[in-house]
Structure 1
Amino acid sequence: MGLLSTVLGFVGFGFGSCIGLVIGYFFFIFKQPHDVKDPEIRPLAELDAAAIQKLLPEIPLWVKNPDFDRVDWLNQFLELMWPYLDKAICKTARDISKPIIAEQIPKYKIESVDFLTLTLGSLPPTFQGMKVYVTEEKELIMEPALKWAGNPNIHLSVKAFGLKASVQVVDLQVFAHPRITLKPLVPAFPCFANIYVSLMEKPHVDFGLKLLGADAMAVPGLYRFVQV
């Protein structure tokens, strides 16, 4: 009797699965939505500037806005110098962060925080254009459009309560539009007394985060929380 019940159970499960697949196939494949409209096709000559920018969001600012100048020479300079800038920036970051980490970790009962890997990757940031303001004051105002879709590898090892965990930041994307003001200008190197940096709009920052080798951004809700 037990064997017969088991066989009938398997048969019922298989029959029910087949019926469910058929019904699902009918509803999701053959059932056409009624609220879908045909796309409106128009020649590019009839589109306004806003519509074209939505179609081609990656157009550099010097193409969309005549106030921005091309800075290809600066991008070429960064491309050639990036391997050396990467090592210099990472070394400076290590030297600056060590005393700060040593001072802060006792407050949180953390035994140690060490850099396992620290590199900004092989892809340098690029400037999509730069706007320079001419004023009557002794100042220089610049607005570069910065885009960086890099492949950094920032790997930290955190040890606390006898346990060790690893945190890794990868695949960083930063799109920013800062305003840099040098004032006042003075006749002594570096020829300005102060530097002020502000953001003209909210920057776009996206990155991958791994905890213990697993993709932490796959946790529901965490990606949206980090991006806020």
Structure 2
Amino acid sequence: SSSSSSGGGSEPSDLEEGEQPGAVNQLVLEMLVYLGRALVYLFPVYLAGYLGLSLSWVLLGLFLWMSWRRKRKGKQGRLTNALELLEDEKVTIAKQISQQELPPWWVTFPDIERVEWINKILLQAWPYFGMYMEKIFRDSIEPAIRGSNLHLKGFTFTKVNLGEKALRITGVKAYTKEVDRRQVILDFQLSYAGDCEVNVEVKKLCKAGVKGIQLHGTLRVILEPLIRDMPLVGAVTMFFIRRP
């Protein structure tokens, strides 16, 4: 019985000895990262002194860097909020209301209706809409850009992918009583925080791309004049009320 108790008592010590190297490695890694960041931050000061530059250039660079960090942090926060809204709308709305942030349009204005059934259709049709847009980019936009300038003859879209996150309509307001009887005005509250990616290339020398686009705004759709023949609408006009 004594041998079994001694054997059981040795297990925790062995476990602690096995865990210590991992903790030490983690501490060393954190110290190396800290030293690396310190060297990166101090290198411009050293370079300015080595080249005999004025300290004002270093201060100006530091100010620009801090402004860029602040702007990037704000943009990242807005992107995170938008993605949270797309993932779990109810939880995000409750959190925003408690924090007195901007709620969705259908919370602020009771005459704006929710249209979740349209969002379900958009989500189901989004992959096919992406295929259609890729065809538009390659068959229409790409030739037009190539023909606009001699230096852009080698312009091509190397990747056009709208991703899996579909555009959402957070609310719709219909104007029928305050307008002419032969027209219908609809305001669509649009919210898009997608994972799309569009890459371009010019003669394999210049490459560029766009990804993670955000768009939030109010799209006004005017149906007029209403006519007696199908499709019952003579023309459709669409524009953003304010810059999205």
TM-score (norm 2): 0.56
143, 154, 169: which one pairs with 2:210? 169
Shift of 1:93: 2.7
Query: What residue ranges of structure 1 are gaps of 5+ in the alignment?
Result: 1-16, 18-50, 204-228
| 2:157 matched residue in structure 1 | 115
| 1:182 matched residue in structure 2 | 223
| 1:76 matched residue in structure 2 | 120
Q: Larger % of helix: which?
A: 2
The amino acid of 1:82's aligned partner reads W
d(CA) in 2 for partners of 1:53, 1:148:
23
Counterpart check, 1:55 vs 2:103? no
Counterpart check, 1:154 vs 2:214? no
The amino acid of 2:126's aligned partner reads W
Shift of 1:116: 0.6
Secondary structure in structure 1 of the residue aligned to 2:185 = strand
d(CA) in 2 for partners of 1:194, 1:128:
25
Seen in structure 2, the aligned counterparts of structure 1 residues 95 and 191 have a Cα distance that, compared at 3 Å, is farther
Query: What residue ranges of structure 2 are gaps of 5+ in the alignment?
Result: 1-41, 43-95
Q: Mean Cα displacement is larger for which, 128-137 or 97-106?
A: 97-106
> Where in structure 1 do 4 or more consecutive aligned residues deviate above 4 Å?
51-54
Shift of 1:201: 2.0
The amino acid of 1:164's aligned partner reads L
Q: Larger % of strand: which?
A: 1
Shift of 1:141: 0.5
d(CA) in 2 for partners of 1:137, 1:53:
41
d(CA) in 1 for partners of 2:99, 2:218:
18
The amino acid of 1:55's aligned partner reads Q
Q: List aligned pairs for 1:1-228, cutoff 5 A.
A: 55-57=100-102, 59-106=103-150, 109-134=151-176, 135-159=179-203, 164-203=205-244
Seen in structure 2, the aligned counterparts of structure 1 residues 165 and 60 have a Cα distance that, compared at 3 Å, is same
Seen in structure 2, the aligned counterparts of structure 1 residues 52 and 80 have a Cα distance that, compared at 3 Å, is closer
Seen in structure 2, the aligned counterparts of structure 1 residues 190 and 103 have a Cα distance that, compared at 3 Å, is farther
CA contact (8 A) 2:145 2:152 kept: no
Shift of 1:137: 2.4
Shift of 1:156: 0.3
Shift of 1:52: 5.5
The amino acid of 1:139's aligned partner reads Q
TM-score (norm 1): 0.60
CA contact (8 A) 2:147 2:153 kept: no
CA contact (8 A) 2:137 2:157 kept: no
Shift of 1:63: 1.4
Percent identity of the aligned residues? 26
The amino acid of 1:80's aligned partner reads Q
Secondary structure in structure 1 of the residue aligned to 2:205 = strand
| 1:47 matched residue in structure 2 | none
CA contact (8 A) 1:105 1:112 kept: no
d(CA) in 2 for partners of 1:82, 1:111:
31
The amino acid of 1:202's aligned partner reads R
